[in-house]
Amino acid sequence: MRVYIITIFFLIFGLNFVNAQRFGYIDTNYILEKMPDYKKAQDEINQLSVAWEKEIADMDKKIQAMYSALQAEQVLLTDAMRKERTDEIQKKEVELKDYQKKVFGFGGLFFLKKQELTKPIQDKVWDAVDKVAKQKNLHIVFDKAGELTMIYTDPRYDYTDFILDELGLGDPNDEIKN
């Protein structure tokens, strides 16, 4: 979809406009992998996810145990007792589903925590991209890690190392292309 929009954009504004523009690309996945803060945030997110998944699994085990107990004792229970236990199991199942949605659903605790931990890091990257784009007089910067498919990329237009340098994460032994 984006490729079609970009193609239409180029056709509407003509090749002269395109020739006047300066393009570059970066690889945000590579940049984020180099950032210790991002690795730390990912580790924290993974730990929280594992803890929440364990909590949900424990809740599910309790429900399964309640169901097994009901099956084992079903012949000894009156209809009223059986209905009471069935209602209790169903209530626990609803609570489990609600908790799953609260934690892992859209806008849930997992999403909010991930956003809280990664947004400051992403903001640093976007600020560095903005600064490098202005320094290098770039009009458009693509992210090859995004949905936009890049069939071929000339390394001289790769500004990933400049972003890493701006973030203080560049390799001093790398020779940055002009």
Residue 70 falls within a domain, yes or no? yes
Q: What percent of the chain has pLDDT over 90?
A: 55
State mean pLDDT over 93-121. 96
Residue 16 falls within a domain, yes or no? no
Residue 10 falls within a domain, yes or no? no
Residue 36: which domain range? Answer: 22-166
Number of domains in the chain: 1
Residue 47 falls within a domain, yes or no? yes
Note the pLDDT of residue 3. Answer: 47
Determine contact, residues 136/159, Cβ cutoff 8 Å: yes
pLDDT in tens, 34-92: 999 999 999 999 999 999 999 999 999 999 999 999 999 988 999 999 999 999 999 99
CA-only gyration radius of the chain, Å = 27
